[in-house]
């Protein structure tokens, strides 16, 4: 019930009746295709959440849905094209890395409706071109990053667990805007909680290979960080495993990853499932707008933080709840979206 209320709230704010190229999609016979990014359905975060939104839509609205997993970036165009050639009513590309691929396929199939998570169509030169048959779905990841940055720095300042070196770290996959938004917000939140905190960040250049992320996290832990924030999809699970092995604390990303163990203090939530579900609901009602940016932020519960580990002190929970309330009210300004 809570999920449906949030969905209805977002739907009412973000999607309005339109007579543009995305209007006119109605009925439970709608066919929806989802194309994952390279992390695949087993990343336990970004792609898995998108797929949850697809499955929820099939259950809630009776639409027909299918998913194709991308194993490499070269799969994007053929995977998107597969659905377009089969006359799917809405094709959803999951991830910033698909911006050029969505542009190519959407231009080739102007009568097919598309949505892209974390980006907008971009031409071969990387220039954004808003298309009338593509809805652009964005998140303010920096807000979720800010919240978990406050957590990390407060843990270090209060010497929670082994966090005694006044150092925290983040570990990203490929340095693309959504990843950098998280890290920039994380570092800003950490500095807000403790201006003297030292922040470390690195990139694995990969969203899949867990060993790469684990190696970077181990190096960061060796430099004194006992709080590890992963922003690398399936690869980032290796970073959380490194934290567990060294007695450090981890912070998950996108989905609530507390199920991995009590070493995961909480997670920076990015409700990709809600975005996918909202887009499909809007499409089924003929109200999904193309050529526009739709932004999911704290105000509409599009980002936030997950369940708490039992190891988290009540003082930290209270501090973060207060910061989240300020974010939702628009009272925290100027959170950076770029890593310094």
CATH number at residue 62: 3.40.50.2300
Q: Could you tell me if 206 and 321 lie in one domain?
A: yes
Name the domain count of the chain: 2
Q: DSSP letter string over 24-72?
A: T-BSTT-EEEEE--TT-GGGSSHHHHHHHHHHHHHHHH--EEEEE--SS
121 confidence band (pLDDT: 50, 70, 90): very high
What does the angle CA 221 – CA 226 – CA 230 come to, to the nearest 5 degrees?
Answer: 75
- Residue 6 forms part of a structural domain: yes
pLDDT given at position 23:
47
Q: How far apart are CA 194 and CA 186, in angstroms?
A: 12
Q: Could you tell me if 174 and 316 lie in one domain?
A: yes
Q: Which two three-digit tokens encode residue 236?
A: 């980032």
Q: How far apart are CA 15 and CA 18, in angstroms?
A: 9
Q: Could you tell me if 171 and 212 lie in one domain?
A: yes
- 116-130, 258-272, 283-297 — which is least confidently predicted? 283-297
What does the angle CA 252 – CA 256 – CA 258 come to, to the nearest 5 degrees?
Answer: 70
Report the share of the chain in percent with pLDDT over 70: 92
In tens, the pLDDT along 73-85 reads: 999 999 999 999 9
Q: Could you tell me if 159 and 238 lie in one domain?
A: yes
In tens, the pLDDT along 144-165 reads: 999 999 999 999 988 877 777 8
Query: Average pLDDT of 164-171?
Result: 91
Model confidence at 19: pLDDT above 50: no
- Residue 339 forms part of a structural domain: no
- Residue 263 forms part of a structural domain: no
Contact 64, 87 (CB under 8 A): no
List the end-to-end C-alpha distance of the chain, in Å, as a whole number.
41
> What range defines the domain where residue 36 resides?
2-139+271-300
C-alpha gyration radius of the chain: 20
Q: How far apart are CA 279 and CA 92, in angstroms?
A: 9
Q: Could you tell me if 240 and 186 lie in one domain?
A: yes
Model confidence at 134: pLDDT above 80: yes
Q: Could you tell me if 163 and 56 lie in one domain?
A: no
- Residue 338 forms part of a structural domain: no
* Prediction pTM value: 0.91
In tens, the pLDDT along 177-234 reads: 999 999 999 999 999 999 999 999 999 999 999 999 999 999 999 999 999 999 999 9
Tally of CB atoms within 10 A around 37: 25
Q: How far apart are CA 73 and CA 145, in angstroms?
A: 26
Q: Could you tell me if 134 and 202 lie in one domain?
A: no
């Amino acid at each position: 019930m809570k999920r449906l209320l949030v969905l209805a709230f977002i739907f009412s704010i973000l999607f309005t009746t339109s007579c543009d190229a995305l209007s006119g999609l109605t009925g439970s016979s709608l066919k929806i295709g989802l194309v994952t990014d390279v992390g695949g359905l087993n990343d336990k975060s970004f792609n898995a959440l998108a797929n949850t939104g697809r499955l929820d839509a099939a259950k809630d609205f009776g639409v027909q849905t299918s998913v194709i997993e991308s194993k490499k970036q070269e799969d994007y165009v053929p995977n998107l094209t597969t659905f377009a050639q089969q006359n799917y009513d809405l094709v959803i590309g999951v991830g910033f890395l698909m911006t050029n691929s969505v542009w190519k396929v959407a231009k080739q199939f102007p009568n097919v409706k598309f949505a892209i998570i974390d980006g907008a169509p971009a031409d071969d030169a990387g220039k954004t071109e808003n298309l009338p048959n593509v809805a652009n779905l964005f998140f303010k990841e920096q807000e979720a990053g800010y919240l978990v940055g406050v957590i990390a720095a407060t843990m270090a300042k209060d010497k929670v667990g082994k966090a005694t070196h006044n150092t925290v770290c983040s570990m990203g996959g490929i340095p693309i805007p959504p990843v950098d938004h998280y890290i920039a917000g994380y570092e800003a939140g950490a500095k807000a909680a403790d201006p003297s905190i030292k922040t470390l960040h690195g990139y694995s250049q990969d969203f899949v290979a867990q060993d790469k992320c684990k190696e970077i996290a181990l190096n960061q832990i060796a430099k004194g960080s006992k709080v590890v924030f992963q922003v690398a999809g399936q690869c980032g699970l290796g970073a959380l495993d490194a934290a567990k092995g060294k007695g450090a604390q981890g912070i998950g990303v996108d989905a609530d990853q507390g199920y991995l163990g009590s070493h995961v203090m909480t997670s920076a939530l990015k409700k990709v499932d809600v975005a996918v579900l909202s887009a499909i609901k809007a499409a089924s009602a003929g109200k999904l707008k193309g050529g526009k940016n739709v932004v999911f932020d704290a105000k509409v519960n599009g980002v936030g933080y997950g369940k708490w580990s039992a190891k988290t002190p009540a003082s930290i929970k209270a501090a973060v709840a207060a910061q989240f309330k300020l974010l939702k009210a628009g009272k925290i300004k100027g959170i950076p979206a770029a890593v310094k």
